A and B are shown apart, each in its own frame.
Chain A
Amino acid sequence: MEPLIKVRNLTKDYRLIKKREGVTGGLVDLIRPRKELLRAVEKVSFDIPAGEMVGYIGANGAGKSTTIKMLTGILTPTAGTVTVGGLVPWKQRLQYTRHIGVVFGQRTQLWWDLAVVESFRLLKKIYEVDDATYDRQMKLFDDLLEVGQYLHQPVRKLSLGQRMRCDLAAALLHRPRVLFLDEPTIGLDVLAKENVRIFLREICEREGVTVILTTHDLGDIEQLCKRVIIIDKGRVHFDGELDNLRRRVGRRVRMTVELRDSATSGELAAITAGLPVTWDEVQGLRHHAEFNRVEVPGAEVIKRLVNECHVLDLHMAEQGIDEVVREIYRQSGREAS
């Protein structure tokens, strides 16, 4: 079957003006500004079939948002093509945007000074949503997101989590075929994040929406996407199943242990002997260890430690997206060389 979204050799250059230093530099800039090209996205290609949820991840400035902005028709690419269901986003903007929903975590599409419900009424008109669909969708959003209670409050008075729920509802009111989510959980607390994820999973299954999600939060990806595309410095470094990624990178965790009695890292290494756990070389009450959860269950490490010495406190931090990307980048660099 034809994929819904087809991206080929997508490239975007930004032109930056590089300032010279000092007064003379400033004057020279006036006459001959030094322009520099920055390649934000370089020859990105992928296909997405209808109904798939894809995580598009990368570190800050990797080119995620630029790609999303080209796919939503906001930016015109320097080179390459995008077609979504036969439409070119930045050329057939009016037709195309009817079929998409977009959430930018950093911005809102709700009308700031007005009550939330006014925005929904306007969106109903913009997308020509009929009354029956409108009522059904609003009921669904109230059931899943509990937006009903905020409808009559002005947007500026909502908390970030409340606003995000309303923004999600606003992006889905017209039952779009494609949904773009750019950092939808940024700045949300754990509970709000969880709510957003549950809602997304539910609604996307129900409506068969095709989703592209960019995020910093691996948790978003793990709970929502089967497939991930990793981008770094504008290029695709990984495109495949999440399980595959995990096999390649694993799930590295960094554990911090606080002991009652001073110990050397050698002593602790002896306790975890036979397990692939590496301890930082320190002596004292606080120790750090790293291991891969895929290889070693965390519980096994903890059990051994607690049995052998007096542990006061224990903390495990999952490897962040930046480290996963770095790891992938390191690996693909190794393959290339």
Chain B
Amino acid sequence: MIESTGSQVSPSVLEPWRRTAAASVGLYFHFIRLAFLKFLAYRLRYYTGVVSYTIFVSGHYYLYTALFASRIADSGDATIGGLSLDEMITYVAISWIGRSFYFNNIARDLMRMITEGEIAMQLIKPFHVQTVMMFEAVGESAFRLIMFTLPIMVVIVPLFHIGRPPESILYLWTFISFCLALVIYSQINFLLGCLAFNMKNIQGVLRAKMVSMDFLTGVVVPFTFFPEWFQRAVEWLPFQGISYIPVTIYLGKRPGEELYAALLLQVAWAVGLFIAGRLVWRISVRHVVVQGG
């Protein structure tokens, strides 16, 4: 048989293909949009969240008010761990407002995909699952920003007289810092989710994560409350980039160069964790066992 020449490709060869950079941007933007739409369909779920976050913050509000009052009565010192009562309340409020934005459940979603075999449907598509999940997380956070974070701010900020940052520009830096927090948070979640390739059920790990993350990120209590060694240790971990860094930026605790150093540290963790996620994924996928079928 005579092979046809010219533009016609041989029937027994699959021609090489690569997505252009522009097409990649378009595709990933599309994932952001779809995730946004998906969460919009379940928006009712988030109205109760506004109530529970407000309860969290008010709990802390009364706790710290009492704590600072007794501190002043005892020693005349109006600060704990370098924070005044007003700063403390702001710290707690901004932490929870931030958490309402960057939060996602990638680890649980990935575990379900693996244990229920849905991962197969992802592996037959020409994209990186990790990148797709990250952009879906961005879409989720965009949804959260509008439908969850803003309503919470509207309730909490006037209710507890939350202070402004010392300079207005810090609003912008805080937001950027929380965006980086979103990347770090999603990549830590992704790495945890990858554990399901070997362990199958990682419910226990996820529960432990839920509790320890809020401590390690500084959402529950500022690091300055903890002993020296703990503060030293968390400096070497990525978790501070999720909450402690953005909140201290908001409070103006990072003057001048320190601000940029903190943001750069977040960028470094975001990139590092993303690369780690890519490597772990590549190794894990070889061990895929698809259930059923």
Chain A residues in contact with chain B, CB under 8 A? 1-4, 14, 49-51, 65, 69, 72-76, 84-87, 90, 93-100, 102, 104, 106-109, 111, 113-114, 118, 121-122, 125-128, 177, 182-183, 208
Known: A76-B286, A125-B26, A126-B126. A1 touches B12 (CB 8 A): yes
Binary CB contact string for chain B from 100 to 129 against chain A (1 if under 8 A, 0 otherwise)? 000000000000000001111101111110
Which of B14-22, B69-77, B187-195, B248-256 forms part of the interface with chain A? B14-22
Given contacts A50-B12, A76-B288, 12 further A-B contacts (CB under 8 A): A1-B1, A2-B12, A4-B11, A74-B290, A76-B286, A95-B126, A97-B125, A98-B126, A100-B124, A114-B38, A126-B127, A183-B293
Which listed residue (A50, A87, A104) contacts B11, Cβ 8 A? A50
Q: Are A107 and B124 in contact (CB under 8 A)?
A: no
Report the nearest B residue to A154, measured CB to CB.
B41
Question: How far apart are the CA atoms of A246 and B178 in the complex, in Å?
Answer: 67
Range, interface on chain B: 35 or more
Give B residues with C-beta under 8 Å from A: 1, 10-14, 16-19, 23, 26-27, 30-31, 34, 37-38, 41-42, 117-121, 123-128, 285-286, 288-290, 292-293
Contact residues of A: prevailing secondary structure = loop
A196–B27 Cα distance when bound, in Å, is 30
Prevailing SS type, chain B contact patch: loop
Q: Nearest Cβ in chain B — how far from A84, in angstroms?
A: 7
A104 touches B120 (CB 8 A): yes
B120, B124, B285 interface centre (most CB from chain A within 10 Å):
B124
Distance between B199 CB and nearest chain A CB, rounded to angstroms: 12
Contact yes or no, A102 B124, CB < 8 A: yes
Residue in A90, A106, A113 whose beta carbon sits within 8 Å of that of B38 in the complex: A113
Q: With contacts A86-B13, A95-B16, A126-B127 known, is A69 near B120, CB below 8 A? A: yes
- B293's closest neighbor in chain A, by CB? A65
Contact B17 A114 (CB under 8 A): no
The residue of chain B having its C-beta at the shortest distance from the C-beta of A177 within the complex is B14
